């Protein structure tokens, strides 16, 4: 079974950028593995971190089971500090070990043009480590908060049969609904726009990074 490896700063990042494509991969019998660098504990600073982590892991597990993600791995790095955290040798060893272990058919990560610094940090560390391998892994960037387009080649995936699953998946991250609500309609309009470009109803766009 081919493996698809997705790297996220937070456990809901890929919901906006590529959950339709995930649902399509699952139907194609591909094994989807998600690697989350932080627990997103700073998303609710007025709550104790341990409660935020527990809530986010619980909803992520439920959402993953719904859409078909086989495994979710947490690196447990400090939220809102990934720019510093990714420089630790331990983090590099962990990510390199994960890529070696799963030997993925494709790797996905957040975009270098994303306004969120944690998302840019994930892009940086994934590409940095992929470039150390002799094997040339295909790497694609997905969009979350992006306003500015990247200059890399663009790849579109028809998700016309999976849009309902995408929207349901987004809604399952209830603890983040303030943020997810602000992205919900843009994600829908973006999928329509990309679909129109590709003569289908809905599509997701990726950047070919490697």
Task: Find, among 146, 135, 147, 119, the residue nearest to 8 by Cα.
Answer: 119
Distance in angstroms (rounded) separating the CA atoms of residues 133 and 160:
35
- Whether the Cβ atoms of residue 9 and residue 82 lie closer than 8 Å to each other: yes
pLDDT per residue, tens digit, the chain (210 aa), is 899 999 999 999 999 999 999 999 999 999 999 999 998 655 444 445 677 788 889 999 999 999 999 999 999 999 889 999 999 999 999 999 999 999 999 999 999 999 999 999 999 999 999 999 999 999 999 999 998 999 999 999 999 999 999 999 999 998 877 777 788 888 999 999 999 999 999 999 999 999
Break the chain into its structural domains and give their ranges.
3-208
Q: What is the CATH number of domain 3-208?
A: 3.40.50.10320
| Other beta carbons within 10 Å of 127 | 16
- Sheet with 139-142: strands ordered across: 71-77, 31-38, 3-8, 106-110, 139-142, 203-208, 154-158
């Amino acid at each position: 079974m081919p493996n698809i490896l997705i790297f996220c700063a937070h456990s809901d990042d890929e919901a906006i950028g590529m959950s339709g494509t995930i649902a399509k991969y699952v139907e194609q019998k591909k094994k989807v593995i998600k690697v989350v660098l932080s627990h997103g504990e700073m998303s609710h600073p007025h709550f104790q971190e341990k409660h935020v982590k527990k809530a986010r892991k619980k909803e992520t597990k439920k959402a993953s089971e719904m859409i078909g993600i086989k495994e979710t791995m947490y690196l447990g790095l400090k939220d809102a500090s990934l720019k510093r955290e990714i420089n630790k040798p331990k983090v590099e060893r962990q990510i390199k070990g994960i890529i070696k272990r799963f030997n993925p058919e494709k790797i996905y990560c957040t975009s270098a043009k994303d306004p969120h610094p944690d998302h840019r940090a994930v892009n940086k560390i994934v590409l940095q480590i992929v470039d150390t391998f002799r094997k040339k892994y295909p790497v694609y960037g997905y969009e979350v908060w992006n306003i500015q387009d990247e200059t890399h080649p663009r790849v579109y995936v028809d998700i016309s049969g999976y849009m309902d699953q995408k929207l349901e998946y987004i809604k399952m991250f209830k603890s983040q609904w303030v943020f997810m609500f602000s992205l919900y309609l843009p994600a829908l309009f973006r999928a329509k726009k990309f679909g129109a470009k590709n003569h289908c109803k809905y599509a997701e766009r990726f950047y070919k990074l490697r």
